[in-house]
Amino acid sequence: MNLIEILLSEKLKNKNPMLDVFGSDHKVLQIACRDLTDYLKVHWNLVGKEANECDLVDKLERFFNENPRELEEFIDLWTGMWLKKWKQRVKLLIGNQESRRWDKVTRTLKNAEPLWRRLKNRREMQEVVVSTLIKNGEICGTSILAENLLKTELGKNKKSYVNKEERVLNVVNNTLRKARDLARSRGPLIFVKIDKGYYSMT
């Protein structure tokens, strides 16, 4: 378990004792860790740098050793903001509830998947979109939202281009515009499908 996981698991449990972050709610902790990592990369200007993961770990450990109290206060504040966003952004779908409404979106994402996997610079594309979301006030599910926005644009963007670079540039520009609008919107953006059996067992 890394430093971010240790710090966040403690804060999430403090703020919501009902969360089982090492059991049934482990996915919540994983998403929060990814979101905090993305947030810190943007905050510390590490987006687009090759060794940004290593730089982030070094910076975080230095911060922890030099100002543990300040870091703890920051994590506490960030966790509170993140949980508020989580409640606003994540909606659980039980069984087939509203599934027809999302069939078209799911199809678009599936159609884009093979092309997405072939893109060599997809990580960089995703980082740029994540950075735009964060700079516009979105801190919850940023990697998930960025990837889905890019895939949706790829799936819809059927125009023929002179070359791959032109297509990628067009997709990124359109996605950045949508990311800015999305960050300013209200209401759920991430829908998690849950089997009805999960609730009948509890």
* Count of domains for the chain: 2
Query: Among residues 91, 110, 127, which one ends one of the domains?
Result: 91
Query: Among residues 68, 91, 114, which one ends one of the domains?
Result: 91
Q: Please give the Cα distance from 200 to 196 (Å, whole number).
A: 7
Give the structural domain span for 26: 3-91
Q: Which backbone phi and psi does 192 adopt, to 5 degrees?
A: -110, 120
Q: Are residues 70 and 108 in the same domain?
A: no
Taking residues 37-63, what's their average pLDDT?
90
pLDDT above 90: residue 173 = yes
pLDDT tens, position by position, 72-108: 999 999 999 999 999 999 887 765 655 566 677 788 8
Query: Among residues 71, 91, 111, which one ends one of the domains?
Result: 91
Q: Are residues 79 and 141 in the same domain?
A: no
Q: Please give the Cα distance from 143 to 97 (Å, whole number).
A: 25
